[in-house]
Amino acid sequence: MKQPDSSPRFSRRAILQRGLGATALLAAPYAAFAAAPPGFDAWRDGFKARALAKGISEPTWNRVMGRIEPDMSVFKQMQKQPEFHEQVWQYINRRVSDWRIINGREALKKNEALFARIEQDFGVERGTLLALWGVESAYGDPLVQQNHMTPVFPSLVALAWNEPRRRAYWETELINALKIVDRGWGTPEQMRGSWAGAMGHTQWMPEVWLNVGMDYDNDGRVSPFGKPDDALGSSARFLVNRGKYHRGEHWGYEVRSPGAASSGSRTYAAWASAGVTRADGQPFAQPNASAQMWVPVAGGPTFLLGPNFYAVKSYNPSMNYALAICHLGDRILGAPPFIQPFPGSERALTLAEVQEVQTRLTKAGFDTGGTDGRVGNDTMKAVKDYQAKMGLLPADGYGGLKVLARLRQGN
């Protein structure tokens, strides 16, 4: 099977929407949505000719679109996406959580051979891919998918029909999703994801799956669901082709510097000659590799960042995201937390402490979406609402030690 070209024009985050993914373990039929508003049937009839002209088969059209109704709740979700203003340390703590570290180690045990093969084929460290997988879809956890995901097609249909600003984009993504079914890569029932259509282990939009995905398990199809082989292999290739990932190099290190942060790229040997050392006291593994210095927050940890940090950043153009992914990958593989704390930071809660926060919030009448120790938007919203009710400022949605202490005091 000829693999799609991983062209640089397909910036993963330029066309992705955030959310969790779905797995092939879910095969529930479409939820029952309200009857279509006036005009939808006429739009669907007109859109059919365009879809067939793009190569969609008649059986696939009938299977997916024959009696579909648009999920109009997508428009409320667009308008009411929760906003949380996190400090860097809060952002890191929430993503580099006990839950993700523990479950990341379990995911590695179950997929040791896959990660070894990816490292051999692409040179991408297993920690990086484990962290991407954990942050994007909670390692494909079927319970997370079932509780938080919705069928992709009713959402895309609603957006393609009635989203005025980017209708052409949503129409294209709807056709792309139909192509995935047409090619046998996934069934309509499997294709559950975020409200905007991002799906699978790595939370890619249909266009990305079509143009970047690869058949890494050699079963004749590119599947976002089920086994993680295609998703993780495709992500590794993306990091190499688009991010220019360097085989055999670590992403960077927390360091101690005798002076102010310096700009420019130097070899680790040159940084060491200037008095910069690893915070853990170990030598730089590759003295001739190059890195740049970065201090996210004055008074906090200092880092030397190599090319592979910026390869991760090509996946999501956020320095904080890339730092969280790289640090989570290290933690899964046994590294300690950052040695120099961020100013004003709290230590991250343990898994048991997060579960206690969720349990106490639930008993107090705030819906956390579960008490499994995994912090998602539901838990953050519950924390934010609790903070506002109790006058805990800022009401930022961060459920840390201060919130836990207040919950233990009772209401």
Model pLDDT, residue 209: 95
Chosen domain end from 177, 210, 244: 244
Residues contacting residue 331 through CB under 8 Å, at least 6 positions apart: 96, 101, 104, 337
Chosen domain end from 180, 212, 244: 244
Q: Is 289 among the domain residues?
A: no
Give the three-state DSSP class for 199: strand
Q: Is the pLDDT of residue 15 over 80?
A: no
Cβ atoms of residues 338 and 294 within 8 Å? no
Tokens of 371: 């008490």
Model pLDDT, residue 195: 79
Q: Is 330 among the domain residues?
A: no
Single-letter amino acid, residue 286 = Q
The residue-averaged pLDDT of 99-124 equals 98
- Residue 227 and residue 372 in one domain: no
Q: Is 110 among the domain residues?
A: no
Cβ atoms of residues 69 and 38 within 8 Å? no
The Cα–Cα gap between 129 and 120 comes to 14
Q: Is the pLDDT of residue 2 over 50?
A: no
The Cα–Cα gap between 181 and 170 comes to 17
Residues contacting residue 41 through CB under 8 Å, at least 6 positions apart: none
Q: In degrees rounded to 5, what are phi and psi of residue 303?
A: -130, 145
With a pLDDT cut of 70, the percent of the chain lying above it is 88
- DSSP E strand boundaries for 295-359: 302-305
Helices and strands counted in the chain (H then E)? 18, 7
pLDDT in tens, 386-398: 999 999 999 999 9
pLDDT in tens, 48-95: 999 999 999 999 999 999 989 999 989 887 776 556 678 999 999 999
Residue at token pair 């942050």: 135
- Residue 1 and residue 140 in one domain: yes
- Residue 231 and residue 368 in one domain: no
DSSP conformational letter for 224: S
pLDDT in tens, 291-341: 999 999 999 999 999 999 999 999 999 999 999 999 999 999 999 999 999
Model pLDDT, residue 149: 82
DSSP conformational letter for 264: S
Higher per-residue confidence, 37 vs 101 = 101
Burial label, 337 (beta-carbon count in 10 A; 0-12, 13-18, 19+): middle
Rounded CA Rg of the chain: 23
pLDDT in tens, 269-295: 999 999 999 999 999 999 999 999 999
Bridge partners, residue 278, by sequence: 255
Tokens of 163: 């989203």
DSSP-assigned letters across all residues of 128-172: HHHHHHHHHHGGG-HHHHHHH-EEHHHHHHHHHHH-SSSHHHHHH
Q: Is 265 among the domain residues?
A: no
DSSP conformational letter for 290: E
Band the pLDDT of 115: cuts 50, 70, 90.
Answer: very high
Q: Is 260 among the domain residues?
A: no
The Cα–Cα gap between 207 and 174 comes to 9
Model pLDDT, residue 35: 52
Chosen domain end from 191, 212, 244: 244
Q: Is cis: bond before 188, omega within 30 of 0?
A: no
Out of 140-144, 324-328, 353-357, 381-385, pick the least confident: 140-144
Band the pLDDT of 37: cuts 50, 70, 90.
Answer: low
Cβ atoms of residues 325 and 375 within 8 Å? no
Q: Is the pLDDT of residue 258 over 70?
A: yes
Q: Is the pLDDT of residue 8 over 50?
A: no
Dihedral angle at the C-alpha atoms of 144, 148, 152, 156, nearest 10 degrees? Answer: -150
The residue-averaged pLDDT of 130-153 equals 87
Tokens of 200: 């699978």
Cβ atoms of residues 354 and 98 within 8 Å? yes
Q: Is 258 among the domain residues?
A: no
Q: Is 286 among the domain residues?
A: no
Q: Is 323 among the domain residues?
A: no
Model pLDDT, residue 383: 96
- Residue 224 and residue 361 in one domain: no
The Cα–Cα gap between 91 and 87 comes to 6
Task: Give the chain's mean pLDDT.
Answer: 89
The Cα–Cα gap between 345 and 97 comes to 15
Model pLDDT, residue 16: 39
The Cα–Cα gap between 338 and 154 comes to 44
Model pLDDT, residue 42: 93
- Residue 236 and residue 370 in one domain: no
Number of domains forming the structure of the chain: 2
Distances (CA, A) of 340 to 54, 127, 296: 55, 22, 12
* pTM for this entry: 0.87
Band the pLDDT of 32: cuts 50, 70, 90.
Answer: very low
- Give the residue numbers spanning the domain of 67: 1-87+117-244
pLDDT in tens, 196-249: 889 999 999 999 999 999 999 999 999 998 899 999 999 999 999 999 999 999
Q: Is the pLDDT of residue 26 over 50?
A: no
